[in-house]
Structure 1
């Protein structure tokens, strides 16, 4: 498919290459700009986006900001990131996939707690399922992520990236695309809260210890232990959030 020039992409009188106005978190604005273009039909299924570097220049934002926005849209299934091949609009029905973003932009401290309450119920169920069906390949990958966290627990950025990948891998290992998609949506919605918490060394170290307990259960293929370990992990994260906000 021939890629259109960025100047040809306009929605509501706004072009993709119109600089981002920083009234919200910049990554949220990048997400919204891409979503608006998809909703308006300016970006269509299968179409390739400009490169990460080009998007950063077009929008006048940093490459890490673009990377964060693209990853968020990928987690929600709106975009597909093909390593070495670029970023494409998903072939799935975009309209059905964009609804979670309406809730995302309305998150506040109160419903952030409710979000973690949902994860406390949801992710232990996933962990129990995964314990009985995880592949050796996924198990090895999870262990590598945990090993990276153990090797440098003081690096908040490394922890964040490996933490996101750890939970994403667990969801995919469920073997159920619907369970995985819902779980990724919940994780994405809670990412900003997690970023704040993960700056705290004590919170990171507790999460790493939690991941060790989860991995021990997965290695043992023990569904009950995996469910219990994941539930405690989610409770620990929610409690840390409450302590950090004083709620």
Structure 2
């Protein structure tokens, strides 16, 4: 079991056992991590995932609370996740991305003007170390759009942009649940940028393929385990 999944299960067990009741505030992060035998980072990721499905409510400056756990509240969140998991057609979007984006990335390595490469670098470096999942996904979308635009083919850029929306939910869910997904995304983006900046189209194509195929493989596994 992934570390984040284990953390989620431990928090859920506290709620099921009645140790945490609707409206209760969670103990301090450091205290709860020690009590559950978790790292603070794993606990933090678990809280993000449970807040997404409305089991927890994170209130800035006030703490993290168990929600009312009202059936309708949880049902709305469950419907979101069930829709996502049932909609395996999203795999088809990833398959098309895996065909188009590596080609666009290779073209960008050949055609992208130096000033646009520097702007791409700014997008990458603008992401804070403690970025939220929303910030990470927004940065990811901008990064890929600029590469597609840098390929110098308007039709190709439009096609790639049109594929971004249907795959956004998968990106968010992966970032919340797969251990190391955030760090891996950062590393692969940096490798793609370096290949483009050093004008190595074959390497740029390879890194883009690895990057997109990684999310696609995770999604296939997630759907298979349902």
Q: Under a length normalisation based on structure 2, what TM-score does the superposition of the two structures give?
A: 0.58
Q: Confirm whether residue 178 of structure 1 aligns to residue 155 of structure 2.
A: yes
Aligned match of 1:157: 134
- Measure, in 2, the Cα distance between the counterparts of 1:175 and 1:223: 14
- Measure, in 2, the Cα distance between the counterparts of 1:244 and 1:208: 22
Match of 1:210 among 176, 188, 194: 188
- Measure, in 1, the Cα distance between the counterparts of 2:214 and 2:130: 17
Aligned match of 1:11: none
Structure 2: state its 5+ residue gaps: 1-82
C-alpha contact (below 8 Å) 2:88/2:223 kept by paired residues: no
Aligned match of 1:227: 205
Aligned match of 1:128: 106
Structure-to-structure mapping, 1:66-85, within 5 angstroms: none
SS in structure 2 at match of 1:221: coil
Q: By percentage of residues, which structure has more helix? A: 2
Q: Confirm whether residue 169 of structure 1 aligns to residue 149 of structure 2.
A: no
Aligned match of 2:29: none
SS in structure 1 at match of 2:102: helix
The alpha-carbon distance between structure 1 residues 180 and 244, as it changes in their structure 2 partners (threshold 3 A), is same
Deviation string for 1:161-198 (max 9, x for gaps)?
Answer: 11110011111111211111111111122122222222
Structure-to-structure mapping, 1:184-199, within 5 angstroms: 184-199=161-176
Larger relative contact order (Cα-Cα within 8 Å, sequence gap ≥ 6): 2
C-alpha contact (below 8 Å) 1:153/1:159 kept by paired residues: no
Structure 1: state its 5+ residue gaps: 1-104
Q: Shift of residue 108 of structure 1?
A: 4.9
Q: Under a length normalisation based on structure 1, what TM-score does the superposition of the two structures give?
A: 0.53
SS in structure 1 at match of 2:176: coil
The alpha-carbon distance between structure 1 residues 106 and 203, as it changes in their structure 2 partners (threshold 3 A), is closer
Q: Shift of residue 215 of structure 1?
A: 0.9
